[in-house]
Structure 1
Amino acid sequence: MSTSQLNAEGDATARETETLILQRVLSVGQKEIARETGLSESTVSRWNDGEYARWAQVLSFLGLRVVPQSAIVVTPAYLHSLETLAEIGLKAEKKRPGPLGWD
């Protein structure tokens, strides 16, 4: 994979991360974040001026992702194994004989 492809992929990941963060900030509210972190609302408000984007880029550069707590994260190898098992099961299902006359 070329450097430009990696950069484009990292940029896309950073944008996804920033979007997720902004959605959660919007759903929780800056006042609540300020209260929980012990910061002023104005400090939390200023984070909208590029701080979330900057941290999203840092996380992307470090190879980290932000996901909802309800997400189940698996490795590519695990996912590949599941896909393989599903493929084997589908092939076996297609080869199964139809109903026998007396069933």
Structure 2
Amino acid sequence: MNTTALSPTRDDIAREIETLILQRVPRVSQKQIALEVGCSESTVSRWNEDEYQRWAKVLALLGLRVVPDSAVVVTAEYLSALETMARIGLKAEKKRPGPLGWD
């Protein structure tokens, strides 16, 4: 499996992060964000897509990903091992003899 062909670029990752941020900000509310970060609601309202884009680029540069709370995150090595086990299991299933007629 060629992981480099499938690996997203840092810009791709930053765009994914920015998209998630922009989707979640309205759900939480500017007031809640302001309370959490210790600034005024008007400061949060002045943040525009450029500010969130900057944050997303920094997170991507740091090698961090942003995912929803419901996401299950595994390492590439774990996923590769799981794919290998699934492939072995499917090969074994194909070689298994059919029903013997009295099952």
Q: TM-score, length-normalised on structure 1?
A: 0.85
The residue aligned with 1:43 is 43
| SS of match in other structure, 1:50 | helix
| SS of match in other structure, 1:67 | coil
- Cα distance between partner residues in 1 of 2:78 and 2:45: 40
- Cα distance between partner residues in 2 of 1:66 and 1:76: 16
Number of equivalences: 97
Q: TM-score, length-normalised on structure 2?
A: 0.85
Counterparts of 1:42-81 in structure 2 under 5 Å?
Answer: 42-81=42-81
Q: For 1:67-103, what per-residue CA distance to the aligned partner results, in whole angstroms no more than 9, with x for missing partners?
A: 1122221111000000000111111111111110222
Q: What is the RMSD of the two structures over their aligned residues, measured on CA atoms?
A: 1.7
- Cα distance between partner residues in 2 of 1:86 and 1:30: 45
Q: For 1:21-73, what per-residue CA distance to the aligned partner results, in whole angstroms no more than 9, with x for missing partners?
A: 11110111112211333321111112225111001001111111111122221
- Cα distance between partner residues in 2 of 1:50 and 1:78: 35
Runs of 4+ with deviation above 2 angstroms = 35-38
- Cα distance between partner residues in 2 of 1:40 and 1:53: 21
For 1:33, give the aligned amino acid. I
| SS of match in other structure, 2:9 | helix
The residue aligned with 1:3 is none
Gaps of 5+ in 2: 1-6
- Cα distance between partner residues in 2 of 1:49 and 1:15: 11
- Cα distance between partner residues in 2 of 1:70 and 1:101: 45
Moved more, 29-38 or 10-19: 29-38
For 1:85, give the aligned amino acid. M
For 1:79, give the aligned amino acid. L
The residue aligned with 2:99 is 99
